[in-house]
Amino acid sequence: MYKKRTLSKIIKRASQNFKTVILTGPRQVGKTTCLKQLSVANRKYITFDDPMDMAFAKEQPKDFLEMNKPPLLLDEIQYVPEIFRYIKIIADNNKENGQFWITGSQQFNLMKNVTESLAGRAAVFDIYGFSIYELFNKAEEQKPFLPSNKNKSILKTLTTKETFNIIWKGFFPQIHSIKNLSYIDWKTFYSSYVKTYIDRDVSQIINVSNQTTFINFLKIVASRTGQELILTDIAKLVGITSVTAKAWLSILQTSGLIYLLQPYFKNVSKRLIKKPKLYFTDTGLCCYLLGLNSPEILYENFMSGHLFETFAVMEILKSYWYNGENPDFYFYRDSNQNEIDLIINTNGKLYPVEIKQTSNPTKEDVDNFKLLDSFKENMGYGSIVCLTDKTRTITKNVNAISIWDI
């Protein structure tokens, strides 16, 4: 059964104002399905996974587009970069908007061609797995999360056990289409996903002669989710150079498997040189790479807090991305290792968020919020995102909310 995506309304609007709409993201997150559901009857669908169509478009892109008139939905266009130049020509010579809807999985190669050929002509959006609102059929009610004393409950608050079951399962649409999901189903999906990712994406970007080494790299990176990125440590554990580790990490980032959260400093330039925090974009894939083979094993593992934080940060990010917004997010850590998990910079204010795997948050959990006073910025309301079963007032300017209320 198709689940409506929050981003659908943004795509429709963009198609009315741009010649081209491009939807990028990791493999198997529902890019094609989302656009197919929005397509009208006269929009022809072509996938470049088809070797015949791919060969024709690569060798004769002009003739290919003459035979296939817009409106078009072109799937996996990263395989035929030769076609971008001709899409630009058609878009420039046709006044109608929404002529081309395009999907692509390899964001680096795709965006390079967009920048060179379709600048100003394309609206570009990123999509990942389901958000919790989409998962429970509340896509249209999802709004960008911001701490407030007026947060309203829309989703049903799940128990801790139910929450960790979803964190373990992950957010790829195919996982949620499997009835009575078993460990074997879960493992088969994620092992196939990793193999396809390496065979079809990574191997086209770099020559990974030893796939075992790259898989070990993936596992070590997964073990760092929700933590500060120390690239030299990762390189040492994998047995590769720091240069190679940096290149491989860039691939994970541009293909949408990880997200890097930058540190907050008053001096903007400092944000570019301090270590970011690393998050896997899908907790199910992360659990698979860590060998956490059941929700129970996940909950009892020392990584459970990091994965809960990963879950929360990604859901807050999705609440912005899926509403067509690019959030200004940071974390804060001082020289004494005092940390604020997430800072949302918006409306001229800094909104602090603490993420805790607890059902009983306390005032001490937000002691670090006062560290932001030194920046002399306008402070917004703060929240603890946790496993509480109801919203609780912590201080005059801070509340504790369930992860299901973000």
Looking at residues 83-111, what average pLDDT do you find? 86
Write the pLDDT tens digit of every residue in 264-316: 986 655 555 579 999 999 999 999 999 999 999 999 999 999 999 999 999 99
How many distinct structural domains can be found in the chain?
2
327 versus 119: the higher-pLDDT residue is 327
- Quickly state the pLDDT bin for 332 (edges 50, 70, 90): very high
- Quickly state the pLDDT bin for 113 (edges 50, 70, 90): confident
Question: Is the same domain home to 265 and 289?
Answer: yes
Please count the other Cβ atoms lying within 10 Å of the Cβ belonging to residue 185: 14
Question: Is the same domain home to 331 and 346?
Answer: yes
Question: Is the same domain home to 161 and 115?
Answer: no
pLDDT at 267: 64
| Nearest alpha carbon to residue 8 among 322, 362, 363 | 322
pLDDT at 178: 93
Write the pLDDT tens digit of every residue in 31-42: 999 999 998 778
pLDDT at 40: 78
Residue at which a domain ends, from 70, 101, 126: 126
The mean pLDDT value of the chain amounts to 92
Is residue 369 over pLDDT 80? yes
**Is the preceding omega at residue 71 within 30 degrees of 0, hence cis?**
yes
399 versus 211: the higher-pLDDT residue is 399
Task: Give the range of the structural domain holding residue 100, as residue numbers without chain letter.
Answer: 8-126
Question: Is the same domain home to 15 and 112?
Answer: yes
Is residue 116 over pLDDT 80? no
The two three-digit tokens of residue 126, written as one number = 């990123």
Cα(150)–Cα(152) distance, integer angstroms: 6
Q: Is residue 293 included in any domain, yes or no?
A: yes
Question: Is the same domain home to 116 and 264?
Answer: no
Cα(372)–Cα(106) distance, integer angstroms: 38
268 versus 258: the higher-pLDDT residue is 258
Of 10-14, 183-187, 207-211, 304-308, which range is least confident?
Answer: 207-211
- Quickly state the pLDDT bin for 202 (edges 50, 70, 90): confident
Residue at which a domain ends, from 126, 142, 167: 126
Q: What percent of the chain has pLDDT over 70?
A: 96
- Quickly state the pLDDT bin for 115 (edges 50, 70, 90): low
Question: Is the same domain home to 322 and 187?
Answer: yes
| Nearest alpha carbon to residue 276 among 221, 324, 315, 348 | 221
Is residue 69 over pLDDT 60? yes
Q: Which residues contact 282 (CB under 8 A, 6 or more apart)?
A: 26, 128, 129, 170, 171, 172, 257, 314
Cα(366)–Cα(370) distance, integer angstroms: 8
pTM of the model: 0.94
Specify whether the CB–CB gap between 155 and 138 falls below 8 A: yes
pLDDT at 194: 95
Q: Is residue 324 included in any domain, yes or no?
A: yes
Specify whether the CB–CB gap between 169 and 180 falls below 8 A: no
* Rounded (5°) CA angle 406-31-165: 45
Question: Is the same domain home to 169 and 104?
Answer: no
Residue at which a domain ends, from 101, 126, 151: 126
pLDDT at 344: 97
| Nearest alpha carbon to residue 67 among 77, 57, 75 | 57
Angle separating helix axes 8-15 and 31-38, nearest 10 degrees: 60
Instruction: Name the phi and psi angles at 317, rounded to 5.
Output: -60, -45
Q: Is residue 1 included in any domain, yes or no?
A: no
Of 127-141, 232-246, 310-324, 371-385, which range is least confident?
Answer: 371-385
Question: Is the same domain home to 254 and 109?
Answer: no
Specify whether the CB–CB gap between 343 and 369 falls below 8 A: no
Question: Is the same domain home to 279 and 389?
Answer: yes
Question: Is the same domain home to 293 and 385?
Answer: yes
Question: Is the same domain home to 119 and 219?
Answer: no
Q: Which residues contact 170 (CB under 8 A, 6 or more apart)?
A: 129, 190, 282, 283, 284, 285, 287
Question: Is the same domain home to 105 and 193?
Answer: no
Is residue 384 over pLDDT 60? yes
Q: Is residue 2 included in any domain, yes or no?
A: no
